[in-house]
């Protein structure tokens, strides 16, 4: 046995010190999605030009930059930042620059904390010609907080947390602040942001929630990461609100803002509740809801999410006659159009509700429309980017328990010589050899599986089992 293992070791060492990167995912992104990403990255990704001691990246969401406007201009929001961090982590298997960009986005996030929840992000920044500064308040927006937390968990999954940035720890800090500041524990609903944390119980925003923050697939993940059962209470209660609107209106068109009336019923917010006259209709906030909830049907396999997706899909098919150009940019909850134009940010999310409903023909029609539109605007293109990744099967679910790098690559519950043999065969690319627990083999904690891990595994085996010396 000793000679056989030594021979295998020699073979591995002769393979030019072969080094095999750990795959970030099993995703197979289409060329269309890859090309879309290249356009998105070129159009919207920016580096902070004013910071010299570190690299910072952000997603540009404005219409003009400072050099064009010659005055202070709004350039990004935490919503955009969360999207950018998600996209970068999800494209890590394709883009060799992804980790550098993600880390730069993390540094930007750290540079702009909320004035309330210190691990949340200030919702907006502007360029004044000298620096990117927080503007219109320094509090948070819930969707940005949620996406940043999930993106950090994805970073832990694809790159690990043993390097300069402990992504997992950073994610847990954000998650804890979300639960503290962005969740109402009286009603088990998401608040509009950490700014609503200490509003009076008689304030109109006290029982208000935003449907576009219903990012349902995240909540069970956050529960698994933290062990905090309040995430599952939030999950269940939010679905009760979703189901209420689905059953009442039979359209799946959730309003931008939802409030609780004096009888305890969840209803659309009145006009000009927070943003504009359409606060109580399905408009530029809730256009994202089909993407957010349908993801929990596609990835989380939730039956309530599937019912929602089927409802909104049935409505939009009937309303448009399967013509995506007839998807209007806004509807009342009972299905009356409030706009006479279409918009990519409304069209792309419905691709996923069609997919979750199993409506292949309509899904394919919408996808073609999304791709044909091309470069449009930050909001539409960024939502479409995330929808395309999800549609390709590229949406990742983070590791919810800390990986144990104990050498148990065959995942049989113990570490022994069979793990060493299996790992060596895998390095030699022996056909039909698979590592059931590849993270257990990354003993060097460098996010690669190579001969150095195998050597560490051999030493680990010798040190851990007295009989190993005789075997090896």
Question: What's the N-to-C CA distance of the chain in angstroms?
Answer: 7
pLDDT, average across residues 5-17: 43
Q: What is the pLDDT of residues 38-86, one digit of tens each?
A: 999 999 999 999 999 999 999 999 988 888 888 999 999 999 999 999 9
According to the model, what pLDDT value does residue 4 have?
44
Residue 318: Cβ within 10 Å count: 11
Are 268 and 255 in contact by the 8 Å Cβ rule? The answer is: yes
Q: How many CA atoms lie within 13 A of 442 on its CB side?
A: 22
Continuous segment of H or E residues that includes residue 303: helix 303-320
Q: What is the pLDDT of residues 184-215, one digit of tens each?
A: 999 999 999 999 999 999 999 999 999 999 99
Least Cα distance to 390 among 430, 348, 357 occurs for 348
CA–CA distance, 293 with 357 (Å, rounded to integer): 12
Q: Which of 463 and 25 is assigned the larger pLDDT?
A: 463
Enter the pTM of the model.
0.82
The residues annotated with a catalytic role in the active site are 143
- pLDDT category of residue 9 using cuts at 50, 70 and 90: very low
Of 1.50.10.10, 3.40.190.10, 3.40.1390.10, 1.10.357.10, the CATH number of 208-395 is 1.50.10.10
CATH 3.40.630.10 fits 2-24+405-471, yes or no: no
Q: Which two tokens stand for residue 472?
A: 């090896």
Triad 361, 366, 371: Cα angle to 5°: 125
Are 195 and 218 in contact by the 8 Å Cβ rule? The answer is: no
CA–CA distance, 177 with 213 (Å, rounded to integer): 16
pLDDT, average across residues 334-361: 98
Q: Where in the chain is the domain with CATH 1.50.10.10?
A: 30-182, 208-395
Least Cα distance to 115 among 133, 131, 137, 135 occurs for 137
30-182, what's its fold? Glycosyltransferase (1.50.10)
């Amino acid at each position: 046995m000793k000679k056989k293992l030594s021979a295998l070791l020699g073979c591995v060492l002769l393979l030019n010190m072969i080094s095999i990167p750990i795959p970030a995912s099993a995703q197979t992104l289409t060329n269309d999605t890859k090309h879309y990403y290249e356009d998105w990255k070129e159009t919207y990704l920016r580096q902070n030009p004013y910071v010299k001691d570190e690299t910072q990246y952000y997603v540009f969401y404005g219409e003009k930059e400072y050099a064009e406007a010659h005055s202070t201009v709004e350039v990004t929001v935490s919503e955009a930042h969360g999207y950018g961090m998600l996209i970068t982590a999800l494209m890590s298997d394709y883009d060799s620059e992804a980790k550098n960009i993600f880390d730069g986005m993390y540094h930007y996030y750290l540079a702009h904390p909320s004035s309330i929840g210190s691990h949340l992000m200030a919702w907006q920044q502007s360029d004044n010609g000298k620096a990117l500064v927080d503007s219109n308040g320094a509090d948070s927006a819930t969707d940005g907080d949620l996406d940043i937390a999930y993106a950090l968990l994805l970073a832990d999954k694809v790159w690990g947390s043993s390097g300069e940035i402990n992504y997992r720890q950073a994610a847990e800090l954000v998650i804890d602040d979300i639960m503290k500041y962005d969740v109402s524990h009286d009603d088990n609903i998401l608040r509009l942001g950490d700014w609503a944390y200490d509003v009076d119980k008689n304030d109109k925003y006290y029982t208000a929630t935003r449907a576009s923050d219903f990012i349902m697939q995240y909540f069970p993940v956050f529960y698994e990461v933290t062990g905090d059962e309040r995430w599952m209470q939030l999950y269940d209660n939010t679905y009760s609100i979703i189901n209420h609107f689905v059953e009442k209106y039979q359209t799946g068109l959730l309003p931008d803002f939802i409030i609780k009336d004096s009888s305890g019923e969840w209803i659309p917010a009145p006009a000009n509740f927070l943003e504009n006259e359409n606060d109580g209709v399905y408009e530029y906030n809730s256009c994202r809801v089909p993407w957010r909830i349908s993801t929990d049907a596609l990835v989380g396999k939730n039956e309530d999410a599937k019912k929602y997706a089927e409802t909104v899909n049935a409505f939009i098919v009937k309303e448009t006659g399967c013509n995506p150009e007839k998807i209007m940019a806004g509807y009342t909850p009972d299905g009356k159009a409030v706009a006479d134009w279409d918009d990519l940010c409304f069209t792309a999310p419905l691709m996923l509700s069609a997919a979750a409903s199993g409506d292949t023909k309509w899904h394919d029609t919408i996808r073609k429309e999304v791709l044909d539109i091309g470069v449009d605007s930050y909001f539409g293109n960024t939502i479409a980017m995330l929808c395309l990744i999800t549609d390709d099967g590229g949406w990742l679910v983070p590791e919810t328990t800390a990986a144990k790098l104990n050498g148990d690559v065959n995942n049989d519950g113990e570490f022994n010589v069979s793990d060493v043999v299996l790992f060596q065969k895998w390095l030699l690319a022996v056909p039909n050899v698979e590592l059931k627990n590849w993270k257990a083999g990354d003993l060097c904690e460098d996010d690669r599986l190579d001969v150095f891990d195998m050597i560490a595994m051999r030493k680990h085996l010798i040190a851990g089992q007295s009989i190993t010396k005789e075997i090896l």
